[in-house]
Structure 1
Amino acid sequence: MKVLQDDTLAYRFEYPAATASGRPLPLVFSRKPERYSSAAPLTADARQRIVCELADLLDAVTVSVTVGPPAGMLKGRAPEAWSARQVAEQVLIDRSTQRTTTGQRVSLNSVEAAAAETRDDGTTYFLYEHVSQGSPTLRTLQLETYRHALAVTAVRPGLDGSPFLYTLNMSCPQEIWEDVRPAFERSVASFRLLPTTNAYVAPDKDPWRFF
C-alpha cells in the first residue's frame, strides 16, 4: 500500500500498489490533488468535482476523490438523519450524466451493500459497494462488461457551515474484483478527513477560482 495525503482539502488514505495475488498495480496520477475550485466537474452542473484521481490503464483500475455539496434526498436534511444507502444512492446519482425523458438524473449503478460507522476521529463514514455497466478495456474486449467498486463518503462543513461530501471511490473490472477487493477494503478503511491546517482551502472558498 502507498499513502496519499492532501493538506489543501485535508484528507488521507492508502491505495494499493499490488493485488492480493501479488500482481503490481502501477497506479499513476491522472489528476493530481487540487483545490475544489480548479477541479474538473463530473457533470455539467459542476457540483461534484474530481479533486484527485489515480489510474492503472492496463487493468482499468481507478481511484478517485470527489467533493461536492449534498443534493436530492440529502439536501436540506441534517447529516445525522442520512442513512448509508441514501448517501450511496445520491452520490452515485450525482455522478451520473444519464437522464430520464423528464430531465431527471438517474444512476446506472446498483448499490450492493451500504453501512455507516463512526471511526476513531469521531467522524461518521458511509461505506458502500456498487456495480455498474462498464466499457471494453485493454484486457477485456467484450462489449458487455461490468465494474465493481467500493466507496466511502464523509461529511465536512464549509465556511458557512453547509455540508460537503468527500468521497473516495475505487473501481475495477468485474474480472479482477476478487484479486483487488482486499486492498480496496483496506483503502476505504484508511480514509480519513484530517484536522485542517493553514494549507487548508475550504470547498466554498472562492468556488470559481481556477488557479
Structure 2
Amino acid sequence: MNNKLISAEDAVKKVKDGDTVMVGGFLAGGHPEQLVRALVETHSADNLSIISNDTGTTELSIYKLVKSGRVKRIYASYIGSNPETGRLLMTKEAEVSLFPQGTLAEKIRAGGAGLGGVLTPVGVGTIVEEGKRKIDIDGREYLLELPLKADVALIRAHKADEAGNLVINGSSRNFNFVMAMAADYVIAETDAYVKLGEIDPNHVNVPGIFIDAIVKVGDTHE
C-alpha cells in the first residue's frame, strides 16, 4: 500500500498551468483552507479554471487565489461574499459562469459518473438557457447541462486512514464527495490521520480508491 500522506506544499505541485481545479466546501464549511493557501503561496500554476460552490469570503485563501490574477475561469453558484470575483465578472478579466447550486452539483456528479450530462427544468425561459440545448420530454422543456470534470480536486475531511478512506462530518460533506469522483487527481486535507482499520467501514463517506494524496492539517515544511 502506497503512503498517501504528504505535505500541503508537495501536494499542490500537482496543479499545473492551465489546469481545472475543484475546491470543496460551502464558504468555510468543509473548505480545504490549508491546501488552497499552499496553492496561493507556492505560485506553482497560472491560467487556472476553478470549480467551486462559491469563491469564499475575504477571510479565506480562495479569495486570495482569485485576487492573485492566476484564475482565468470560475464556475460557481455564489460569488456575493467575494468582491474580487464580482469585479472580474464585471470587467471580464476572467470568465465567470454562474449556475443554480443544485445544477452545479449535478454537473459535477455527472462528470464523476461518466454521464453525458443531466436534464433540468431549472433555468428554462431565463438567461440561464442561453447557449444551451433544450430538450422536450412529454411536453416539458429541459436544459441539457454538460458534465464538469477537473484535473485536480482539493477536498476536506475530518478523518482519513492510510488507504485514503475519509470521514466527513455533517454539512461539511457538501461538494466534497462528488468532487472526489470527478477529478483525475484528488488531494484530501484532514484533521486526523489514523491507521488502516481504525475507521468503521460504515462511517466511510469517501472510499480511498478516489484519493491520491492526504494532507494532515498543520503538516507543512515550515
Structure with greater proportional helix content: 2
Structure with greater proportional strand content: 1
**Highest CA radius of gyration, 1 or 2?**
2
Q: Given the two structures, how large is their TM-score scaled by the length of structure 1?
A: 0.29
Q: Given the two structures, how large is their TM-score scaled by the length of structure 2?
A: 0.28
